[in-house]
Structure 1
């Protein structure tokens, strides 16, 4: 039995995976959606980037999970990639869903050369938080009115320090067994950092013809992608 640990991206919490869980559990596996500190039902908890890494590692260790597939969406790829190194032989695979990936000494905003100043200014102007996304951010991502309303209504401001603090890696991400899921409506190709990792023998690329939030736009298909990535698809 595989243990999927699911971490959504900026502004979102465990609730974002609710439509994906049935597909994973119906296949006989366990799914653990996780809310990171400072978000959703954990608002008010102080958080930096390493807090989020510790959230994930602590969850795996506290429940004594084995055969773990860590799933990181969007921003969450950064703490998930670091956590994957730290859970040792508990890890079966990492799945990055249209996500950023960590680079030692670099932050989330380091990968946004054109938007870094804008994000940092927004954080400074909003008491240390990145303001939650709006309906305009969801345009062109294969989201209907219902899905857009769910995302916007459930989104909470994101702790800014998690976006600006640097990642800490102990080794090379290329040493991890990983699947990268590229959502094509959010751009036809992975970024150069991911493209370099995909040249290695331990990384594979899967594409989905949908937008940046596939847990809302195509939850059943995403569940099948995760099962296949874990080698337990039916």
Structure 2
């Protein structure tokens, strides 16, 4: 284990709330660390989907870390969550011990998610234009891609937990450098059977100049394979230099 406890702040991807990280959070706490799961604006049950901007998601991560006065923070992003986590890391200074991308997009400056993949661009733009509130919803036929290791009843259960994603979260970009410019430890975890990420995980890891750590499962493996996800996070944290944690503390 790390030289002293870390605080993992777990940020979900599109369509889901902090519940998607809860099984991993429980395992991290059992290992002696603190863990906080976040639900971003517009993604809680009953939230309106209109009026949200990418800056609101970034602000929410920053505000929660500061409001709780969290230190030695490991920001962990899944999927689209790479955007708000990247933006927040640039604003949280010495509170951050490390950043981990988990089946996540590593944003390029000025490039929104909708531009990361030509197929995504057409599909997402059409969904946004067709929706009365400009949001994007998962369709039932996409569930085998999200959770290939689960059977149909489990996928149906997951489907009923998902909510539409505010469209601006997909069409707006960040104007920041990669987190590698912050001098922090950075890691990338990629599931071996991720079928929906806009680009292969190793390509995103290459943007950070590192190789990914591979875990079993599909895109939602933090939910479908929480033992493996937590073990990967814990193993990575053991390799970080102690001075990184001390700086964050």
TM-score (normalizing by structure 2): 0.84
1:192-213 alpha-carbon deviations (Å, 9 max, x no partner): 3432423xxxx45200121000
Offset of 1:86 from its aligned partner?
1.3
Q: 2:59, 2:151 → 1: CA distance?
A: 35
Aligned to 1:153: 160
Aligned to 1:182: 190
Aligned to 1:21: 25
Secondary structure at 1:116 match in 2: helix
147, 151, 172: which one pairs with 2:178? 172
Q: 1:161, 1:87 → 2: CA distance?
A: 23
Q: 1:192, 1:224 → 2: CA distance?
A: 23
Asked if 1 retains the 8 angstrom alpha-carbon contact of 2:106 and 2:207, the reply is no
For structure 1, the 5+ residue unaligned runs are none
Aligned to 1:32: 36
1:41 aligns to 2:45 (yes or no) = yes
**Change over 3 Å in CA distance of 1:36–1:102 after alignment to 2:** same
Secondary structure at 2:154 match in 1: helix
Q: 1:163, 1:216 → 2: CA distance?
A: 23
Q: 1:62, 1:42 → 2: CA distance?
A: 24
1:14-63 alpha-carbon deviations (Å, 9 max, x no partner): 11122212211101111110000001236126311111011101111111
Secondary structure at 1:185 match in 2: coil
Asked if 2 retains the 8 angstrom alpha-carbon contact of 1:147 and 1:217, the reply is no
The size of the alignment, in residue pairs, is: 227
Asked if 2 retains the 8 angstrom alpha-carbon contact of 1:72 and 1:97, the reply is yes
Aligned to 2:243: none
**Change over 3 Å in CA distance of 1:68–1:42 after alignment to 2:** farther
For structure 2, the 5+ residue unaligned runs are 241-249
75, 78, 92: which one pairs with 1:87? 92
Q: 1:217, 1:65 → 2: CA distance?
A: 28
Offset of 1:189 from its aligned partner?
4.6
Q: 1:28, 1:146 → 2: CA distance?
A: 34
Offset of 1:191 from its aligned partner?
5.3
Secondary structure at 1:98 match in 2: strand
**Change over 3 Å in CA distance of 1:84–1:146 after alignment to 2:** farther
Secondary structure at 2:212 match in 1: strand
1:155-186 alpha-carbon deviations (Å, 9 max, x no partner): 000000011011120x3333342111111112
Q: 1:184, 1:195 → 2: CA distance?
A: 16
Q: 1:61, 1:42 → 2: CA distance?
A: 25
